[in-house]
Chains A and B, each alone.
Chain A
Amino acid sequence: MKKLLMALVGWLWFSQSAMAELDILVTGGMDSGRPVAIVPFKSDGSLPEDLANVISSDLMRSGKFTPLSRNSMPEQPAQSGQINFPTWSALGTEAVVVGHVESAGAGQYRVTFELVDVAKGKDGGNAVLDSRVATVTAKQLRKYAHRISDIVYEKLTGERGAFLTSILYVTVDRSQPMPYRLMLADYDGYNERMLLRSREPIMSPTWSPDGRKIAYVSFEKRTPAIFIQDLYSQARSMLVALPGINGAPSWSPDGRSMAVVLSKDGQPDIYAIDIGSRRVNRLTSDPAIDTEPSWSPDGRAVFFTSERGGRPQIYKVDVASHRASRVTWEGDSNLGASATPDGKALVLVSRIQGAYRIARQDLQGGGVYVLTSSSLDESPSVAPNGSMIIYSTVYQGRQGLALVSADGRFKANLPSAKGEVRSPAWSPFLN
């Protein structure tokens, strides 16, 4: 009986690894976005990917769109010329994506799509906002669907889409001899790949601005050290392993420095290391805990968490002058801040009446908006277009990742099939 069970578990594991290791369970905000419809792409045979489903899910997760379910679609046209505009207009649909796929021989597919404005179509004008044809391999189909999502998102919002991005995260399975693994996946959890496996903890993965390298903390030598790893060559180098803490690496926007936490001088402080020369430049020296550095998008300042005022709050240090100033004033404490790509807000962890939640603080007005309602949230990371935030939380008794749109409207959990998942880091734009 035990053997049968083991075989079953083994089979489940293998079949899981062919799909997403992280499922997506939507928990909120499905009805409040702009209504669009992604009509299932017509094809002359069976396709390895449901393109319309990928595009639909992408747009929904941004929080800005509410895609119509297929069951509610009045028709399923494959070309703009086949669209019955008054029908869609009556439903309130703002835009429709239609397309078709033909086999192009030798494992290739020709994909055609059109993004169509319903109001313009009803008025009889030129309704096609974008239309493209591309030939891709079976393996590239899913990636191309994300590309279509990017195009649709940008055409309808004026902002760049972030659906071709990736995430780093750490999984912990304490039943394994090497419990800690550093993983890389598409932002939606698909195509999971292991980058590192260790007996000792791995923490705080972070991306280089060009998306080609990563840095992280590893305890493989029993004490913490910061490593840089090239994603393509897999070459690894140790950046710093000074006595005490070596932690929280954050890559500067120009790619040349790494802000880190070191406690070699008596207590945890913020330092900037020139990656080329390995020269260490001290930025803070307060006797209280300073940690979690994160660069401002203009590279002139580093946000960080400090207890110098009593409880942890967010401060900002000017890299040139080393002058620090306080940024957060609300809640019991604030930690783990990073700036949004436009530099206008901070996304951080705020402790309010004992619960740790993800919040956004506008840097100009100072207004604080709490985005989550769970209580053990940490490690938020913002998508490179500022539209979505990934973070870790405890869901159904296990630590896992969750997504929330930057306006707080869309929420989903990404529970893992095995072990616990933590420390997500959203990549920069990769295309």
Chain B
Amino acid sequence: MKINPLLKTLLIAIPLVTLAACSHKKGSTTADTDGMAGQGVETSGLDSGLSADEQARQQFESLKQDNVIYFNFDSDAIEGQYAQLLQTHADFLRGHNSVKVLIEGHTDEKGTPEYNIALGERRAKAVAKYMQNLGVDVSQLSVVSYGEEKPADPAHGEDALSHNRRAVLVY
């Protein structure tokens, strides 16, 4: 059958226009967090802002760097100065249910190695309990104690000792 020449043109033109419209839309999606939707340009570099993915990744990186809580000698009490840190970790975990965190418990070298394994576990469990109370699901939390076996600072003075009494959140 013979296709009307006008129809032929339209058959070609319409898909082209649609395609153009599609690519235009794609551009606006990546830029929409920056309020540049509909401007018809796609930018890149620092000005383009962060996607949700990228934001999460950056947040995750900073969480991984700020992940240690220190304790007083022979104590498993969580000091008030760490409330903010733990809240941040808890918020992240609540927002990402598939992410799991391992809480390590550590002690300084005073006392015996096996007693320190028990004390380290108490510290790790105290942090886990605290996170649970902030709404984190128990399936996302696990604990291990290294007692005095993995010091952050292997020296033997008081200064080193205070750096070793800690719990570490490991992702």
Contact = CB atoms under 8 A, between A and B. Distances in A.
B98 interface: no
Given A376-B156, A394-B156, A336 B144 contact: no
A351 B121 CA distance: 22
Given A289-B118, A335-B112, A378-B112, A223 B144 contact: yes
A222 B144 contact: yes
Interface stretch (B8-16, B24-32, B39-47, B146-154): B146-154
B136 to A, nearest CB: 19
Interface string B132-157: 00000000000011110110001110
A291 B111 CA distance: 13
A397 interface: yes
Nearest to A336: B112
Nearest to B122: A289
A289 B122 CA distance: 9
Contacts of A149: none
B114 interface: yes
Nearest to B113: A203
Given A289-B115, A292-B114, A174 B154 contact: yes
Contacts of B128: none
Interface string A177-204: 0000000000000000000000001011
A363 B122 CA distance: 31
B131 interface: no
A369 B144 CA distance: 37
Interface residues of A, number: 34
A379 interface: yes
B109 A245 contact: no
Interface in A53-112: none
A245 B149 contact: no
Given A244-B121, A261-B114, A291-B118, A376 B109 contact: yes
B117 interface: yes
Contact of B121 (A201, A263, A349, A378): A263
A261 B118 contact: yes
Could you tell me the dominant secondary structure of chain A's interface residues?
strand
29 contacts: A174-B154, A201-B146, A201-B149, A203-B117, A203-B147, A224-B117, A224-B144, A245-B121, A261-B117, A263-B118, A268-B118, A268-B121, A289-B118, A289-B122, A291-B115, A291-B118, A292-B112, A292-B114, A312-B115, A335-B111, A336-B115, A376-B109, A378-B111, A378-B112, A379-B112, A379-B113, A397-B155, A399-B156, A423-B113
Interface string A115-158: 00000000000000000000000000000000000000000000
B118 A378 contact: no
A257 B36 CA distance: 73
A219 B146 contact: yes
Interface in A200-248: 201, 203-204, 219, 222-224, 244-245, 247-248
A148 B112 CA distance: 36
Nearest to B157: A397
Given A201-B150, A247-B114, 5 more contacts: A201-B149, A312-B111, A335-B112, A376-B109, A376-B156
B119 interface: yes
Interface in B32-90: none
Nearest to A266: B125
Given A245-B121, A263-B121, A397-B156, A292 B115 contact: yes
A379 B115 CA distance: 11
